[in-house]
């Protein structure tokens, strides 16, 4: 009877557990979470911090363990001004970054003084069956308040059946505006991609953090 009353006191009239029903005491009494699955959970695999780095490469950990890899960029800052942040993929562990890609690029921006804004496609930043590095945003200056943050998703890179889809979403802060760039496309190869490289079109990556996560299989 007391167990039933205790359970009832922790339920709403709709039959949903109240927030107070789960606390440190109740969790400590649980002995088995075998029935709980972790599908979709991000697993941190690697963290690299730039310090006047020519590029940042991930040459290990990209394999069949995960079907999706997520790269998070935190305050990436260039040494030089008027440069673009780019990426390319490798099928030979980073000896060559030259995967053939077809991509699409569009952007939006809004100025701090509210004087200008836009939403447009950019043909100068897309690729059509090219092995060149892919631009992940437009030009950025090297003023102290300029940096990039965002994410890139790489899907099923170890597949030997399908091409390799990827997409990115980066926000750039400038001295006058916020600029958001969206890139999507595919590496046109059925070979496994096992490395990725990030760099600016000229000069070093002066500062910033890139984290690589694997997305747990459900």
Average pLDDT, consecutive stretches of 10 residues, N- to C-terminus, the chain (218 residues): 53 59 58 50 97 98 97 98 97 98 98 96 98 96 94 98 98 93 98 98 98 92
Residue at 78 is within a domain: yes
Residue at 76 is within a domain: yes
Residue at 8 is within a domain: no
Residue at 25 is within a domain: no
Residue at 36 is within a domain: no
Residue at 15 is within a domain: no
Query: What does the alpha-carbon distance between residue 183 and residue 158 come to, in Å, rounded to a whole number?
Result: 21
Domain that holds residue 73: 42-215
Residue 199 belongs to domain with CATH number: 2.60.120
- pLDDT for position 15: 57
- pLDDT for position 175: 86
Total number of domains constituting the chain? 1
In sequence order, what E strands does the chain have?
Answer: 42-53, 56-58, 68-78, 85-90, 101-111, 117-121, 134-135, 147-155, 164-173, 177-187, 195-200, 205-215
- pLDDT for position 160: 98
Residue at 112 is within a domain: yes
Rounded to two decimals, the pTM is: 0.82
What letters, b where the CB count within 10 A reaches 16 and e where it falls short, cover 4-43?
A: eeeeeeeeeeeeeeeeeeeeeeeeeeeeeeeeeeeeeeee
Residue at 138 is within a domain: yes
């Amino acid at each position: 009877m007391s167990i039933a009353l205790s359970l009832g006191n922790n339920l709403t009239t709709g039959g949903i557990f109240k927030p107070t029903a789960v606390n440190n005491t109740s969790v400590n009494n649980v002995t088995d979470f075998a029935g709980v699955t972790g599908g979709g959970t991000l697993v941190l695999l690697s963290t690299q911090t730039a310090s006047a780095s020519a590029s940042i490469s991930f040459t290990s950990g990209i394999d069949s363990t995960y079907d999706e890899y997520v790269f998070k960029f935190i305050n990436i800052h260039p040494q030089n001004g008027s440069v673009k942040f780019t990426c390319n993929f490798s099928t030979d562990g980073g000896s060559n970054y030259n995967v053939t890609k077809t991509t699409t690029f569009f952007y939006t921006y809004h100025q701090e003084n509210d004087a200008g804004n836009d939403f447009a496609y950019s043909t100068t930043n897309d690729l059509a069956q090219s092995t060149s590095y892919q631009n992940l945003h437009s030009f950025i200056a090297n003023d102290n308040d300029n940096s990039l943050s965002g994410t890139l998703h790489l899907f099923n890179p170890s597949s030997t059946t399908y091409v390799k889809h990827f997409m990115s979403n980066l926000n750039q802060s400038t001295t006058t505006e916020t600029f958001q760039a969206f890139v999507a496309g595919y590496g046109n190869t059925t070979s496994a991609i096992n490395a990725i490289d990030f760099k600016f079109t000229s000069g070093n990556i002066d500062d910033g953090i890139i984290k690589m996560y694997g997305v747990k299989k459900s």
